[in-house]
A and B are shown apart, each in its own frame.
Chain A
Amino acid sequence: NAGVTQTPKFQVLKTGQSMTLQCAQDMNHNSMYWYRQDPGMGLRLIYYSASEGTTDKGEVPNGYNVSRLNKREFSLRLESAAPSQTSVYFCASSEVPTGTGNTIYFGEGSWLTVV
């Protein structure tokens, strides 16, 4: 009963390094999301994919890229990490992107520190 699985759980990067956060869901959901959560800021949407083959920017896309590899997988890449990207990252998925009954399920989070 995995749901949404994201890796790695913890990562420390040096400024300027690159890395990819991986996310996979086994619920056959169409839509997937990447959020970041900072103290006092709540969850902010970085990128989302309404369906396989599409991606769109959220509130805070700068410094990130995404790939919807297939229906199951949605990765988030930091090309040149900056200390401002220190955060907790959550991947999420939902069956459909709009309308009522749109329950979003979250992964366990990835704690990223950029030094």
Chain B
Amino acid sequence: QKEVEQNSGPLSVPEGAIASLNCTYSDRGSQSFFWYRQYSGKSPELIMSIYSNGDKEDGRFTAQLNKASQYVSLLIRDSQPSDSATYLCAVQYGNKLVFGAGTILRVKS
């Protein structure tokens, strides 16, 4: 059973702070990792992908991958109320993308 684990939250941060979202996965052979954002009542949308160990930055978002520890994280700098959503970690296993249950993020103004 391929597993992707996330803390369900909610994670509450004040506006302007850094939000840190974490994800662990079970299969060391995984090569592709994704973060999706999902607003309430909407479909998931891709915000970051990462394939190599280390950090990948895109605007206010930074994805971090540590394959030895089987750990993926997403940092959101200067958090805004509009960042309030559920963040889904997804891991590619062969032909399939397996999702975690998601972490609810609330940014308080």
A residues lining the B interface (CB < 8 Å): 31, 33, 35, 40-45, 48, 50, 56, 58-59, 90, 97-109
In the assembled complex, the CB of B109 is this many whole angstroms from the nearest CB of chain A, namely: 26
Q: Would you call B95 and A98 a contact (CB within 8 A)?
A: yes
Q: Would you call B46 and A108 a contact (CB within 8 A)?
A: no
Once A43-B99, A50-B95, A56-B95 are accepted as A-B contacts, the answer to whether A104 and B8 lie under 8 Å apart by CB is no
Known: A56-B95, A101-B49. 9 other contacts (CB 8 A): A31-B95, A43-B44, A48-B95, A97-B95, A99-B32, A100-B49, A100-B51, A102-B97, A104-B97
The number of residues on chain B lying at the interface, defined by a beta carbon within 8 Å of a beta carbon of chain A, is 23
Q: Which residues of chain A are within 8 angstroms of B45 by Cβ–Cβ distance?
A: 106
Q: Would you call A109 and B88 a contact (CB within 8 A)?
A: no
B residues lining the A interface (CB < 8 Å): 4, 8, 31-32, 42-46, 49, 51, 88, 90, 92, 94-102
Q: Which residues of chain B are within 8 angstroms of A59 by Cβ–Cβ distance?
A: 98
Q: Which residues of chain B are within 8 angstroms of A108 by Cβ–Cβ distance?
A: 42-43
Q: Which residues of chain B are within 8 angstroms of A58 by Cβ–Cβ distance?
A: 96
- Sample 20 A-B pairs with CB under 8 A, ordered by A number: A31-B95, A35-B99, A42-B88, A42-B99, A42-B102, A43-B44, A43-B90, A45-B97, A48-B96, A56-B95, A58-B96, A59-B98, A90-B44, A98-B92, A102-B97, A104-B46, A104-B97, A106-B44, A108-B42, A108-B43
